[in-house]
């Protein structure tokens, strides 16, 4: 997370990238969804609540598997894009803050969701409220799941990311010295935080990693969806993107290899 801004400021930036988000952001591995379905004991027709769906990157694969999904999205432009991307599926997209969302009164067996989940969105929710709000939305015995898509740095990975750091430093956006460059499998886990809420019991934690190759403009489009890059001054972005173009277009394949990692956390509601 950008040390210059708090999460409440940063999480509102993504709405500016609504036209790029679905195309530029990476898809999550099919294996992640299959493990989620198994560990959370999801049956056909299960009712899911997604927190921060953006344009529907993680909604679409689950909706196509036959689940009924309610999405809550902070950004108006993102929510509108999600409705377009998810048209014809059993999905409702609501605009608003999860922290303020109120579940409609339900009774009997229909009360509560089978799963509350967030894909690269959980860290943007108020840490003082997110576990309580998820607990309240779930049926007894329901599950919470979340994961983030994060840059990881395998041995033998593309050297571009180390080389381009000099440009970030020139524009005043260099990495703090305490920022780590984790390898696949080394991303931090949040089991203690989840169970520290007193509301959930962790049942599964699993690391996933995958690679994507980006052509020059595809990679720049990806950067345009990151909060820190959205908040840069125009001159900073122009200098950075121009340098990226020069360096990547000088390569024979005019592309860069980026490795992604995610830690899937699944926890069962207590009580």
Secondary structure of the chain as H, E, C letters: CCCCCCHHHHCCHHHHHHHHHHHHCCCCCHHHHHHHHHHCCCCCCCEEEEECCCCCCCHHHHHCCCCEEEEEECCHHHHHHHHHHCCCCCEEEEECCHHHCCCCCCCHHHCCEEEEEEECCHHHCCCCCHHHHHHHHEEEEEEEEEECCEEECCCCCCCHHHHCHHHHHHCCCCCCCCCCCCCCCCCCCCHHHHHHCCCEEEEEEEEEEEEEEEEHHHHHHHHCCCHHHHCCCHHHHHHHHHHHHHHHHCCCCCEEEEEEEEEEEEEEECC
The span from the CA of 103 to the CA of 169, in Å, is 46
pLDDT of 176 reads 77
Per-residue confidence of the chain (271 residues) as pLDDT tens digits? 444 544 455 555 666 667 888 999 999 999 999 999 999 999 999 999 999 999 999 999 999 999 999 999 999 999 999 999 999 999 999 999 999 998 764 434 457 999 999 999 999 999 999 999 999 999 999 999 999 999 999 999 999 999 999 999 999 998 877 677 999 999 999 999 999 999 999 999 999 999 999 999 999 999 999 988 999 999 999 999 999 999 999 999 999 999 999 999 999 999 8
Contact 26, 92 (CB under 8 A): no
Assign a CATH topology to domain 7-154+180-211+259-269. Rossmann fold (3.40.50)
Q: Which two tokens stand for residue 47?
A: 């009712």
Contact 225, 20 (CB under 8 A): yes
The span from the CA of 32 to the CA of 193, in Å, is 21
Would the pTM of this model clear 0.95, i.e. be above it? no
pLDDT of 121 reads 94
pLDDT of 18 reads 79
Q: Pick the closest to residue 182 from 148, 156, 150, 206 (CA basis).
A: 150
């Amino acid at each position: 997370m950008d040390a210059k801004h708090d999460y409440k400021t940063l999480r509102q930036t993504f709405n500016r990238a609504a036209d790029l988000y679905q195309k530029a952001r990476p898809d999550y591995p099919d294996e992640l969804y299959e493990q989620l379905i198994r560990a959370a004991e999801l049956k056909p027709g299960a009712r899911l609540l997604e927190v921060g769906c953006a344009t529907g990157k993680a909604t679409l694969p689950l909706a196509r598997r036959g689940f009924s999904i309610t999405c809550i999205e902070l950004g108006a432009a993102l929510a509108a894009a999600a409705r377009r991307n998810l048209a014809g599926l059993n999905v409702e997209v609501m605009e608003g803050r999860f922290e303020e969302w109120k579940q409609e009164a339900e009774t009997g067996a229909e009360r509560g969701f089978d799963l509350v989940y967030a894909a690269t969105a959980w860290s943007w929710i108020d840490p003082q409220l997110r576990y309580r709000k998820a607990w309240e939305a779930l049926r007894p015995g329901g599950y919470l799941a979340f994961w983030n898509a994060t840059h990881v740095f395998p041995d033998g990975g593309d050297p571009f990311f180390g080389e381009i750091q000099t440009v970030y430093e020139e524009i005043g956006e260099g990495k703090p010295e305490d920022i780590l460059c984790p390898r696949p499998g080394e991303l931090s886990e949040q089991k203690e935080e989840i169970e520290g809420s007193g509301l959930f019991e962790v049942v599964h934690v699993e690391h996933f990693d995958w690679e994507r190759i980006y052509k020059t403009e595809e990679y720049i489009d990806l950067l345009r969806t990151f909060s820190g890059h959205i908040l840069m001054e125009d001159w900073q972005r122009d200098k950075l993107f121009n340098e990226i173009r020069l360096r990547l277009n000088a390569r024979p394949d005019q592309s860069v290899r980026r490795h992604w990692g995610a830690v899937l956390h699944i926890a069962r509601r207590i009580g």
